[in-house]
Chains A and B, each alone.
Chain A
């Protein structure tokens, strides 16, 4: 069985669960309550509540989709990322107070993984609020020395989320043909 993984991250309400649902073959599950059952007696920081979806390519090949919880640290993701993580989808909510702060935070938290693999950025809820614009996000990415693809997306749109994944795959290997 070949298991590869794509991770969706970003602040609360950015559209992680929705984006996974938009492309998953299965109804995504959320591991919240399993996790909370496990950790009621422990420190809250160890709680891991992930979204999980799946794309089955064949009996032997699967692409797993994970949505990170809104936690301050993502150390726990390493366990998952190091086993077949191919890329990171960072979703930013344009209606948040300071989405650039979010961008700095998440790109820093996953910096090693981004450097090794690849990140794509989707800015959601631009239909609700036009500003800041994509040009501002491009500046922010440039200041972080990250030439990642960045698109305006609606997390509910299969087409938009698919385009982000396309950009991710082509960035990993422009030689891929479809």
Chain B
């Protein structure tokens, strides 16, 4: 690696350079090549960089040739021009680093040839060039910006990350070290001043290649809304808890399949064995506590299943069964053959609770009691309904009654009721009143718009 230590970086100006290579150069100049190159305007430059594969580049170089500044020519193919050096694409850190020394060599050769008559342009000052032993010697040129050609900028797929592993201290996989040796010293903002300045790509404002993300087909709104009605009902809000319509919002869990499901889950967990729940109509659900999975022969999104959950069951219609080991092998094989019917055990309980309650509350709920969410539901594996994330977020920060949470978020009560029923069936609420505390932090008001725009972007499936 070449490094010139005394007189600062080589001043360069960019002529025509395609956006991809421009981004690479800018990134290199801002980071690893910071001490080697500095971009300046053409008159100030000691050397000019031109992308010979870019349209108009040849003409532009021609026009500049009367300035007699040495050129760094980037091209896929070898280019031989006087007073230039050629850098093959794709660019590498090694080639860029070495380019500095080559440009100086070029300049001094030109100087010698032109002597004693002075050249028109002032020759670049002579610099001391220090040759350093490369730490990693490799015969193949080091590919800094990715193995392939365009469009593969910055070597994502080349997986260079692995290389650094030998340099960094990592958490050990193998040894049982005691905690203290692994605990990093808590760092505080005050120490930032002493910390070495780190190259921050956010400040380099580099342009990079966009990725096209395929947009997942959206569920038609009327289909989604129909499902939300199945899950959360369509009850109007009740402003006053003493309203006589309140009676209608309660249900008795013991009358529904939900209670059998919960009993089966309890049994499965306690015995640590799979339990088969035989459903009316010949279907069944297999609860597998070991894998935290459930397999149901009925589609939990089908009307049939919704009706099964939402209508009271008679005693004797549902049966629990602990399969023998041979039965279990068969049942598990069937589950594997119908993998679409396997879901997370919590997701199964969640959807059964929702379909049972349809926005109602268990008769045992005290609507005036303040409660708080202790653990978040595993949202990525659960069926979603409107506002579910906001409800979880607020309730995990602020103890409140069902009505208070709905009011604070200004959303229909049925969504809060649904969330409560499903999440409490999963035991995610804090029951100990003495442990309730507010964890609310100051809200960054000015961020609200930005957050909303970010959400919109992400939920739009990557669309702008």
Q: Do A and B come from one complex?
A: yes
A residues in contact (CB < 8 Å) with B: 1-5, 11-12, 17, 21, 23-38, 40-41, 44-52, 54-58, 61-64, 69-80, 82-84, 86, 96-97, 101-102, 104-105, 108-109, 111-112, 116, 118, 130, 133-134, 138, 141-142, 147-153, 158-160, 162-167, 169-178
B394 touches which of A48, A61, A174 (Cβ 8 Å):
A174
Q: Which residues of A contact B452 (CB under 8 A)?
A: 176-178
B447 touches which of A27, A55, A172, A174 (Cβ 8 Å):
A172
- Count of chain B residues with a beta carbon within 8 Å of a chain A beta carbon: 102
Residues B394 and A36 in contact, CB atoms below 8 Å apart: no
Residues A163 and B380 in contact, CB atoms below 8 Å apart: yes
User: How far, in angstroms, from A52 to B204 measured CA to CA in the complex?
Assistant: 12
B202 touches which of A17, A45, A51, A80 (Cβ 8 Å):
A80
Stretch at the interface among B190-198, B315-323, B353-361: B190-198
Per-residue CB proximity of B74-98 to A under 8 Å, as 1/0? Answer: 0000000000000000000100010
User: How far, in angstroms, from A66 to B396 measured CA to CA in the complex?
Assistant: 27
Q: Closest approach, in angstroms, between the C-beta of B355 and any C-beta of chain A?
A: 22
User: How far, in angstroms, from A17 to B161 measured CA to CA in the complex?
Assistant: 9
Q: Which residues of B contact A147 (CB under 8 A)?
A: 373-376, 396-397, 439
Q: Which residues of A contact B64 (CB under 8 A)?
A: none
Residues A163 and B379 in contact, CB atoms below 8 Å apart: yes
Residues A33 and B160 in contact, CB atoms below 8 Å apart: yes
Q: Which residues of A contact B168 (CB under 8 A)?
A: 44-45, 47, 49, 69-72
A27 touches which of B31, B183, B208, B458 (Cβ 8 Å):
B208
17 contacts between A and B (CB under 8 A): A4-B450, A5-B202, A26-B210, A33-B144, A36-B164, A38-B32, A41-B135, A47-B168, A73-B184, A78-B195, A108-B186, A147-B375, A152-B344, A162-B458, A172-B444, A174-B409, A175-B409
CB closest chain-A residue, reference B206: A29
Q: Which residues of B contact A153 (CB under 8 A)?
A: 380
Residues B378 and A70 in contact, CB atoms below 8 Å apart: no
B211 touches which of A12, A26, A104 (Cβ 8 Å):
A26
Residues A159 and B380 in contact, CB atoms below 8 Å apart: yes
Residues B389 and A133 in contact, CB atoms below 8 Å apart: no
Q: Which of B122-165 contact A (CB under 8 A)?
A: 132, 134-136, 142, 144, 151-156, 160-161, 163-165
CB closest chain-A residue, reference B142: A33
5 smallest beta-carbon distances between A and B, as pairs: A29-B154, A37-B32, A170-B393, A34-B31, A174-B394
B187 touches which of A4, A74, A96, A158 (Cβ 8 Å):
A74
Beyond known contacts A71-B170, A76-B198, A176-B390: 20 more, CB 8 A cutoff:
A23-B462, A24-B211, A27-B151, A27-B154, A30-B156, A34-B28, A37-B32, A38-B34, A55-B457, A57-B454, A57-B457, A72-B169, A73-B184, A118-B441, A150-B375, A158-B461, A160-B380, A163-B380, A169-B454, A175-B409
Residues B208 and A26 in contact, CB atoms below 8 Å apart: yes
B201 touches which of A4, A29, A37 (Cβ 8 Å):
A29
User: How far, in angstroms, from A165 to B450 measured CA to CA in the complex?
Assistant: 13
Chain A contact residues: over half helix, strand or loop, or mixed? mixed
| Cβ of B337 under 8 Å from chain A | no
Q: Which residues of A contact B379 (CB under 8 A)?
A: 149, 151, 163, 167
Residues A11 and B171 in contact, CB atoms below 8 Å apart: yes
Q: Which of A5, A118, A177 has the most CB of B within 10 A?
A: A177
Q: Which residues of B contact A23 (CB under 8 A)?
A: 458, 462
Q: Which residues of A contact B213 (CB under 8 A)?
A: 158
Q: Which residues of A contact B450 (CB under 8 A)?
A: 2, 4, 57, 61, 63
Q: Which of B170-194 contact A (CB under 8 A)?
A: 170-171, 173-174, 179, 182-189, 191-192
Residues B198 and A72 in contact, CB atoms below 8 Å apart: no
CB closest chain-B residue, reference A52: B201
Q: Closest approach, in angstroms, between the C-beta of A133 and any C-beta of chain B?
A: 5
User: How far, in angstroms, from A49 to B168 measured CA to CA in the complex?
Assistant: 10
Q: Which residues of A contact B454 (CB under 8 A)?
A: 55, 57, 63, 165, 169
